[in-house]
């Protein structure tokens, strides 16, 4: 190699200088690029294009991957947000329902300040054809006791607690054959007894018994609890008179009462756990 440069070095240098001068001259006089540059450009252009295409493809793929990853993360975050919002919506709905319940309770409490109410949900309706009952979501945990009266949100009498456990209680509705309440005809103030009757129970009705010949009972008369004896509160609406009939003996009269409550539609009720006794 040394020998080669020793022999031809000057020639090579001279040739390089000549090429350099030639390129400089051509560049100076050319309006575009020099011929050699042009040749080099033409020759390298496909390779550059290919390299650029590969590079663009790789960049595109990288971008796609980054986008997909970002979208996946965003999607997961959005899903989480939707779940949280739905949970919040459910909480809000529950709070709304509770609010409505407390409003009704407040209204009821304002109407009857002599009562202490506890709200409860109806867990189950009658299980048997021979009784009419409801199962509630509270029991002794809310101070509910056997004999407590149960009313609807409107304040109409639903029934009386017959059995009570820690977090459940059973209510026999006013149409059950075991129910017997001191009653008063609201219009006249006359006293009678409202009681469940088996024949009427299946029709969703109850009986107003012990009517005297002087009692003026008219269809549509409201019947309320008398409160006599202090066992049950007074003034709770039991139902309205639907018809007045004569008993099988042909002497005693009784009225058929239509309760003010649709027992099958009840979902929330109020238990009167304490009340002032009317003397």
Partner 1 sequence: MNLTQTTALKWTVYALAVLLLCFLKRLLLGSATFWGVLPFLPPVLLAVMAAFEQPKSAVIAGLAFGALCDLVVPAPFPCLYTLAFTIAALLIATVMSNFMQQGFARALFSSVLAFVIVDLFEIAAMLTRGADLSVMLWLFARETLVSCVLLLPSYPLLRAVHRLFAD
C-alpha to C-alpha distance for 174 and 187, rounded to whole angstroms: 21
Q: Residue 184 or residue 205: which is nearer to partner 1 going by CB?
A: 205
| Nearest CA-CA partner of 204 in 258, 128, 266 | 258
Residue 137 carries which DSSP code?
S
Q: By CB under 8 A, what part of segment 182-201 binds partner 1?
A: 197-199
**Which position among 177, 190, 210, 242 is part of the footprint of partner 1 (CB under 8 A)?**
177
Report if residue 3 touches partner 1, rule: CB under 8 A.
no
Q: Residue 108 or residue 194: which is nearer to partner 1 going by CB?
A: 194
Report the nearest approach of partner 1 to the CB of residue 246 (Å).
Answer: 15
Q: What are phi and psi of 135, to 5 degrees?
A: -110, 130
Report if residue 56 touches partner 1, rule: CB under 8 A.
no
**Which position among 142, 162, 167, 234 is part of the footprint of partner 1 (CB under 8 A)?**
162
Report the nearest approach of partner 1 to the CB of residue 132 (Å).
Answer: 9
**Which position among 178, 215, 268, 276 is part of the footprint of partner 1 (CB under 8 A)?**
178
Report the nearest approach of partner 1 to the CB of residue 196 (Å).
Answer: 9
C-alpha to C-alpha distance for 23 and 237, rounded to whole angstroms: 116
Beta-bridge partners for 149: 160, 272
Whether residue 219 contacts residue 254, with contact meaning beta carbons closer than 8 Å, is answered with no
Q: What number of helices (H) and strands (E) belong to the chain?
A: 3, 12
C-alpha to C-alpha distance for 145 and 159, rounded to whole angstroms: 13
Pairing, β 149-151 against β 133-136: unpaired
**Which position among 264, 274, 277, 278 is part of the footprint of partner 1 (CB under 8 A)?**
264
Report the nearest approach of partner 1 to the CB of residue 262 (Å).
Answer: 12
Pairing, β 222-225 against β 180-185: antiparallel
Report the nearest approach of partner 1 to the CB of residue 134 (Å).
Answer: 10
Q: By CB under 8 A, what part of segment 80-109 binds partner 1?
A: none
By rule CB under 8 A, what count of residues binds partner 1? 20
Pairing, β 222-225 against β 206-211: unpaired
Q: By CB under 8 A, what part of segment 123-152 binds partner 1?
A: 124-131, 133
Residues that bind partner 1 in the complex, under the rule CB under 8 A: 124-131, 133, 162-163, 170, 172, 177-178, 197-199, 202, 264
């Amino acid at each position: 190699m040394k020998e080669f440069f020793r022999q031809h070095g000057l020639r090579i240098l001279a040739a390089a200088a000549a090429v350099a001068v030639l390129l400089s001259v051509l560049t100076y006089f050319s309006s575009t690029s020099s011929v050699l540059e042009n040749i080099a450009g033409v020759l390298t252009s496909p390779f550059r294009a290919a390299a650029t295409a590969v590079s663009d493809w790789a960049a595109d793929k990288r971008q796609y991957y980054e986008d997909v990853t970002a979208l996946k993360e965003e999607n997961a975050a959005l899903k989480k947000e939707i779940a949280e919002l739905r949970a919040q919506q459910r909480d809000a709905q529950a709070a709304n329902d509770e609010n409505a319940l407390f409003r009704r309770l407040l209204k009821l409490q304002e109407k009857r300040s002599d009562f202490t109410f506890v709200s409860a949900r109806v867990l189950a309706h009658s299980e048997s054809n021979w009784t009419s009952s409801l199962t509630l979501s509270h029991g002794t945990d809310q101070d509910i006791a056997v004999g407590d009266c149960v009313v609807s949100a409107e304040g109409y009498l639903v029934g009386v607690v017959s059995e009570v456990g820690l977090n459940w209680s059973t209510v026999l509705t006013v149409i059950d054959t075991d129910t017997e309440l001191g009653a008063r005809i609201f219009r006249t103030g006359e006293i009678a007894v409202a009681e469940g009757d088996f024949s009427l129970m299946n029709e969703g009705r109850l009986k107003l018994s012990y009517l005297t010949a002087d009692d003026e009972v008219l269809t549509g008369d409201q019947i309320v609890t008398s409160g006599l004896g202090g066992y049950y509160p007074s003034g709770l609406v039991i139902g309205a008179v639907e018809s007045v009939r004569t008993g099988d003996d042909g002497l005693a009269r009784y009225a058929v009462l239509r309760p003010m409550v649709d027992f099958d539609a009840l979902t929330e009720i109020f238990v009167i756990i304490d009340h002032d006794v009317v003397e």
